[in-house]
Amino acid sequence: MLRRVILGTRNHIGRLNNARFLSQDTNEATKIEKSVNSVTLLGRVGANPQKRGTTEHPVVIFSLATHTNYKYETGDFMQRTDWHKVCVFKPNLRDAVYQFLKKGQRVMVNGRLSYSEFKDDEGNSRPSTAIIADDVIFFQ
């Protein structure tokens, strides 16, 4: 009985959303689902932006500091700073960031998280996390 209720609910929801549910007989590799990878940061630029990459694949990189304020049980206020690496690939945005963004400036970044690895000087793999910027809003 429980199985019938669940299947009936799934079919009803599927009709409402114009969605199809795959049966167990269908190839799971053809199933396409949506996901969200979205980040919004508001903080201050740690250093002037730098140009990196190659002429075919240029990128502008800058660091962004965000702060979290918290209070200890003793009543003391503390502030923790997190540093974020921001990468800008979009051509017009990349040029504007490189030309106009300066150290200490307040900025809001909308983008997505990206995880990767790089090899250090000794050849060890090191993890790296970056924000890939879709939009950068300058504050004065």
What average pLDDT does the chain have?
A: 84
> Is 21 a domain residue?
no
> Is 13 a domain residue?
no
pTM beyond cutoff 0.75: no
pLDDT in tens, 89-113: 999 999 999 999 999 999 999 999 9
pLDDT of 3: 37
pLDDT of 27: 58
Residue percentage of the chain with pLDDT more than 70 = 79
Residues 78, 82, 83, 87, CA torsion sign: negative
Count the domains in the chain: 1
> Is 26 a domain residue?
no
Among all chains, which residue has been given the structure tokens 């939009």? 135
> Is 52 a domain residue?
yes
**CATH code (residue 56):** 2.40.50.140
Q: How many C-beta atoms lie closer than 10 Å to residue 88's C-beta?
A: 27
For 89, the domain range is: 39-138
pLDDT of 89: 97
CA dist., res. 70 & res. 109, Å (int):
23
Quickly list DSSP for 63-122.
EEEEEEEEE-TTS-EEEEEEEEEEEE-SHHHHHHHHHH--TT-EEEEEEEEEEEEEE-TT
Residue 139 confidence (pLDDT) above 70: yes
> Is 133 a domain residue?
yes
